[in-house]
Amino acid sequence: MAALRTPRRGPRPDSVPVPGTGARRRRLAPMAMRGTVVALVVVPLVVLAASPGRGRVGGWHLASLVTSLAAASLLLVAFVLPSRLRTITSYLGVEKVLKSHRLIALVAMGLVVAHIVFVFVQTGFGVLDLRSAPPRVWAASAATLALLAMVPLAITRRRRRPRYEGWRLAHVVLGNIVLFGTALHVFWLHDLTTYGPAAAWFAALLAGLVVLTGYRWVWRPWRSHRAAYVVDEVRVESDTAVTLVLHAVGHPGVEFRPGQFAWLKLGESAFVFEEHPFTIASAATQPWRKEFTIKALGDFSEILAGLRPGRLVHLDGPHGAFTIDGVRSDGFVFVAGGVGVTPMLSMLRTLADRGDPRPVVLVVAGRTADDLLHRADHEHLDQRLNLRLVEILEEPPEEWDGEIGWLTPSVLQSALPGRRGRSHLDYFICGPGPMVAAATRILEDDWGVADRRIHTELFDVV
């Protein structure tokens, strides 16, 4: 394979981003996200401050109203983020979306707990006696209990490692109980809703909740049903991995950016609950054809391995901002661990189809040779790209001529040009959390690579 050359200086045609990829919007997305969250908290508080009756309520009552309003707004934000709005997932990135979702949910839970404390100070603990409680208390109790169950289950998920579909079902059900229980509590309470602007705010929140529910569970499945794919081939790549090859049925294919992913559903209907996320491994230049290289990590991936040609598959996507499109760079460095190489395969194949001459380094780390999924290379990418490959195994086979052990600064340094040339490259890192953290630390702390040139994605973040 060709060695990586030090990039040339000055403007180059091949360093211009692909048109229409939203690079500027992806840079502004985090700022827009923060501004939206602040606005959704501040606006209801301003409405509360302008209420003509605020001067007639006590301090504890006012505190309970403030915390309840802020919590309601943040709960809606937490509901919006994982609703698969492509405007959000494609420009903010799924990793940032889900991290923001978790953080906002934790803050909302804290506000809910504070609200409950303020209510107890005013009314005492008699409100907990549900035998004679009005409907508004029942709604609040259901929403609170669901929230207190949902957050710990989500926080401890990686440690417990439950079945994905069971955990997801519980998370979705509990989340909807929280949102709709909160809405009913506010509606039946008849507190601030008697004040026009406050009533309008709550009505807007409820309308947004209803619209998002319809979008997520009706509109998106309907679109997936209209853009179905059929299994062409299930190709065995190793003892633990297969490649699922699909082609579009009755449509030109769903366009995507190299590095993005989609949720897969099996069967004649897209209106089913079970679905799983996988990165698209094929070239973005052929939207009518999709490839997913999948490692057997659970029951669903084993089911996929047993699919036969002709089976109908529905895709919800594409999603994600982990992509080379829209990036101005003199070259790329891809660092992957295990199944985290799949977005890199899409990027490499897309670069090859586009005839991109920029240098690329692919560093792949795994435990055994079965983890080297990039070796299922049927397109001879090393002959079509200025590509250098570095392989690292913890337990290599006999006659292994690659690196042994883990990703270290010396291993990465040997694959790259001089320090000056490194600052003009973009780095894409995908894999297990510890590996992503280690590679990021090497680039930022040891080499001083700018944060804007480091792009990360955890393959198990969804």
Q: Give 451's Cβ-side CA count (13 Å radius).
A: 1
Q: What number is the average pLDDT over the span 343-347?
A: 94
Instruction: Pick the closest to residue 316 from 244, 253, 233, 225 (CA basis).
Output: 225
According to the model, what pLDDT value does residue 280 have? Answer: 94
With cut-offs at 50, 70 and 90, classify the pLDDT of residue 417.
Answer: low
C-alpha 14/C-alpha 358 separation (Å) is 7
Residue 367 C-alpha from the chain's centroid? 25
- Is the pLDDT score of 36 beyond 50? yes
SS3 category, 2: coil
The residue with tokens 């827009």 is 32
C-alpha 193/C-alpha 183 separation (Å) is 11
Q: Are 325 and 21 in contact (CB under 8 A)?
A: yes
- Mean model confidence pLDDT for the chain: 82
| Greatest CA separation for the chain | 82
- Tokens, residue 307: 């699919």
According to the model, what pLDDT value does residue 10 have? Answer: 36
With cut-offs at 50, 70 and 90, classify the pLDDT of residue 253.
Answer: very high
C-alpha 459/C-alpha 461 separation (Å) is 6
Q: What percent of the chain has pLDDT over 70?
A: 87
The residue among 420 and 340 whose pLDDT is bigger is 340
Provide the 10 A C-beta neighbour count for residue 25: 15
The residue among 39 and 439 whose pLDDT is bigger is 439
Please tell me the total number of residues recorded for the chain in this structure. Answer: 462
Query: Taking the model in full, what pTM does it have?
Result: 0.81
DSSP 454: E
According to the model, what pLDDT value does residue 433 have? Answer: 85
Contacts of 274 (CB under 8 A, 6+ apart): 165, 265, 266, 300
pLDDT 10s digits, 48-88: 777 666 555 667 777 888 888 888 888 888 888 888 888 78
According to the model, what pLDDT value does residue 379 have? Answer: 60
Contacts of 115 (CB under 8 A, 6+ apart): 64, 67, 68, 71
With cut-offs at 50, 70 and 90, classify the pLDDT of residue 256.
Answer: very high
C-alpha 220/C-alpha 84 separation (Å) is 9
